[in-house]
Amino acid sequence: MEELHDRIREDLVGLENRKLRDGWRIYLARIESELAGCAVLKPIDAIACELKRLFVVRHLQGLGIGSALCEYIFTTAGQLGFNLRYC
């Protein structure tokens, strides 16, 4: 389990560097203090974006976390002005 969290942490650090450079937005889901999942919103251009790196930690799958992250990403994309037809 610790190895999994180390790999996730490394991936998130890499994503944070991209976010700063390219406007990516990282959204984390937590249950209490535990990381439960992650999703990334990647702008493609002024109207289009992409959902990247959606994951839910294995032992927490089946609780609706992935669905909640997707719903949050699409709501946020619309609020940011992206055309959801192109997301």
pLDDT-based confidence at 68, cuts 50/70/90? very high
Report which residue type is found at 70. Answer: C
Does the 2-86 domain belong in CATH 3.90.380.10? no
Report which residue type is found at 81. Answer: G
Neighbours of 63 (CB within 10 A): 14
Q: Measured between alpha carbons, how far is 26 from 19 in angstroms, rounded to an integer?
A: 7
* Phi, psi for 83 (deg, rounded to 5): -80, 115
What's the whole-model pTM score?
Answer: 0.74
Does 4 have pLDDT greater than 90?
no
Average pLDDT, the chain: 82
What would the two tokens of residue 29 be? 């889901």
DSSP 79: H
Domains of the chain: which residue ranges? 2-86
